[in-house]
Amino acid sequence: MTNTSLGGHDGPYPMPVEICGGAVDTAWIDYNGHMNVGYYGVAFDMALETLMVDHLGLGELQVNALGQGPYIIQSHLHFLREITQDMPFHFHFRMLDADPKRGHYFAQMISTSDCHVCATQEALFMNVSHTTGRSVPYPDWAVARLMQMVEDHKTLEPAPQIGQPIGIRRK
């Protein structure tokens, strides 16, 4: 375990963290003429990796140096608006909670052309040892960064999708 960070920075973190540069790949379009549901998960995952590496010094950097890394253990997507071919989008991330082994975040996929939220993801990730396949604590510097991001994001207005259950709503 290393006592020095692998990259990223100690904050303060933008409120929310913006990850730019997404666009729908031709292969992601389904027979309905919009981005297939499975590729939303891919797009959110790619943006999460940018957040992890560029801001927290985790993700692939952590796996290569420490043999451990973040695994998504629960995810809830909301599809709010279609995304079509070549439509540019970006993400807003906020860290809702964290402890020494886990993080809970909320992300929005936003159309760059008109700033409408197209999809959201709320997810829980856990640090996992690649040797044992079990959860392990993050290094102290990483825990401090996760907690700092939670602190920096605590005043953001909650989005209506956060914490929503799934199911058929009946009157």
Tens of pLDDT, residues 132-167: 999 999 999 999 999 999 999 999 999 999 999 999
Task: Please check whether residue 167 lies inside any domain of the structure.
Answer: no
* Distance in angstroms (rounded) separating the CA atoms of residues 154 and 97: 9
If one counts the domains in the chain, the total is 1
Q: Is 103 exposed, middle or buried (0-12, 13-18, 19+ CB in 10 A)?
A: buried
Domain of residue 79: give its range. Answer: 17-132
pTM of this prediction?
0.94
Query: What is the mean predicted confidence (pLDDT) over 49-71?
Result: 95
pLDDT at 56: 97
* Distance in angstroms (rounded) separating the CA atoms of residues 107 and 86: 21
Task: Please check whether residue 5 lies inside any domain of the structure.
Answer: no
Q: Tokens standing for 64?
A: 């290569």
- What 3-state class would DSSP assign to 42? helix
CATH of the domain at 62: 3.10.129.10
pLDDT digits (tens, 9 = 90+) for 38-51: 999 999 999 999 99
- What 3-state class would DSSP assign to 86? coil
pLDDT band at 23 (very low <50, low <70, confident <90, very high): confident
pLDDT at 2: 60
Task: Please check whether residue 98 lies inside any domain of the structure.
Answer: yes
Task: Please check whether residue 12 lies inside any domain of the structure.
Answer: no
Residue 62's contacts (CB-CB under 8 Å, 6 or more residues apart) are 6, 52, 68, 69, 70, 142
Task: Please check whether residue 43 lies inside any domain of the structure.
Answer: yes
pLDDT at 3: 73
pLDDT at 5: 87
